[in-house]
Amino acid sequence: MTTDFGIRIRGLEKRYGDVRAVDHVDLAVPSGAFLVLLGPSGCGKTTILRMLAGLEEPSGGEIHFGDQLVASGDTGMTVAPGQRDAGLVFQSYALWPHMSVYENVAWPLKVKGWSTERRNARVREVLDLLSIGNLIERYPGEISGGQQQRVAIARTIAPGPKILLFDEPLSNLDAKLRAEMRTELMRVHRLTGATSVYVTHDQVEAMTMASHVAVMAQGRVEQFGAPDELLNAPATRFVATFIGTPPANVIPVEVVQGRYCYKQIDLGVADQRNGVGPSWLMYRADALLLRPEPGSRCLPVEFAEATPVAGRHIVTVWDSEMRLNIVTTEAPRANLGDRLFLEFPAVPTMVYHDRAEVEAQASMA
Ligand SMILES: Nc1ncnc2c1ncn2[C@@H]1O[C@H](COP(=O)(O)OP(=O)(O)OP(=O)(O)O)[C@@H](O)[C@H]1O
Ligand SMILES: [Mg+2]
């Protein structure tokens, strides 16, 4: 059985001198997928998107759109951006200021040689799709930022590309408009059926929109999967602390006489199969309890802040330099700097071992 791949990326690399902006990335999504590249600033998201668009050539690896090889860093083969059947929407949605909304959206169709009649019909269709049909005669200076972004999206989808590429398209909009446009973009995605790649460092955006998410750090993919998979089983410490509202807590532990220990608190039986190397225990924010008095498996912490969210409270506390998040039903009665006690459950949600470090230590011994 063959899968109908929309995009396949194999061993993709981009080096700028000594900087490995993209470091051996493998990703494949089915046709019609909504792939989100999620990660902190500088992790290589835009560089991947620019290679997909054909604005940047890979230093290594291959990109396929469907069955078509569009770029190979190994042979230097590359399909020109205009020949890739892909549309790109940027954060700064540079519309042509001297052209009306109609002309902005019609321009790429004109370049492709569409007849005036076909152009007119298509411009109206995509403006209606984005609910801005009434703005057709306005100029970019006469419409709001959110409306300008809709025009930019209309312009990109007008020629009906098979692949849509978005680079943080909503980050210039205010919170309410962002939420609205998220829904709008999902609708556009569904109606066009295009395979979409969407870059963001906003994990809420990623989790609500994506069919597939690639969490990136330092040019590499840390984990690739459905939003649920990332939330339920974060594969690495980085993913655990990057994803989730609030993200999970990851505690560095020592192994003492076969037990995990953090500051003399016994956190359960250690998994010894991985040797004595560093281990981290992961606790979800709703797995921890806050107590006013000390008790067993309790860590003294300092209260920082509490934020009410949908009938619950996200509480942040400090343990020395470490920030910890707890979700509680009752707001703690505490002020900044007050002493509270964090109770750990008997079993952590997940355990991470740093195999590379363990191996390095083993070879040094
Ligand atoms: N033309 C370039 N020359 C040298 N280094 C570059 C160039 N373009 C990008 N880089 C480096 O490559 C890395 C990845 O950059 P990229 O723009 O892909 O990050 P990003 O994930 O999109 O970040 P952000 O969220 O801030 O937009 C960064 O370290 C960046 O400094
Ligand atoms: Mg970027």
Q: Which domains does the chain have, with CATH numbers?
A: 5-241 (3.40.50.300), 245-364 (2.40.50.140)
State the Cα–Cα distance between residues 51 and 278, nearest whole angstrom. Answer: 37
Residue 146: is its pLDDT beyond 90?
no
* pTM for the whole structure: 0.87
Look-up: residue for tokens 């519309």?
95
Q: Which ligand is nearest to the CA of 22?
A: 1
Tokens of 257: 């006489």
Cβ atoms of 14 and 37 within 8 Å: the answer is no
State the pLDDT at residue 275: 58
State the Cα–Cα distance between residues 238 and 223, nearest whole angstrom. Answer: 10
For the four alpha carbons of 231, 24, 273 and 260, in that order, the dihedral sign comes to negative
Chain length of the chain: 365
CA–centroid distance, 46 to ligand 1, in Å, is: 7
Specify the amino acid at residue 42: G
Rg of the chain on CA atoms, in Å = 25
3-state secondary structure of 155: helix
Ranges 120-124, 231-235, 273-277, most confident: 120-124
Asked if residue 72 has its Cβ within 6 Å of ligand 1, the reply is no
Task: Tally helices (H) and strands (E) across the chain.
Answer: 9, 20
Identify any residues that bridge with 5 across adjacent strands, giving them in sequence order.
Answer: 30
Residue 91: is its pLDDT beyond 80?
no
Residue 197: is its pLDDT beyond 90?
yes
Q: Which ligand is nearest to the CA of 41?
A: 1
pLDDT band for position 32 (cuts 50, 70, 90): very high
State the pLDDT at residue 276: 53
Asked if residue 52 has its Cβ within 6 Å of ligand 1, the reply is no
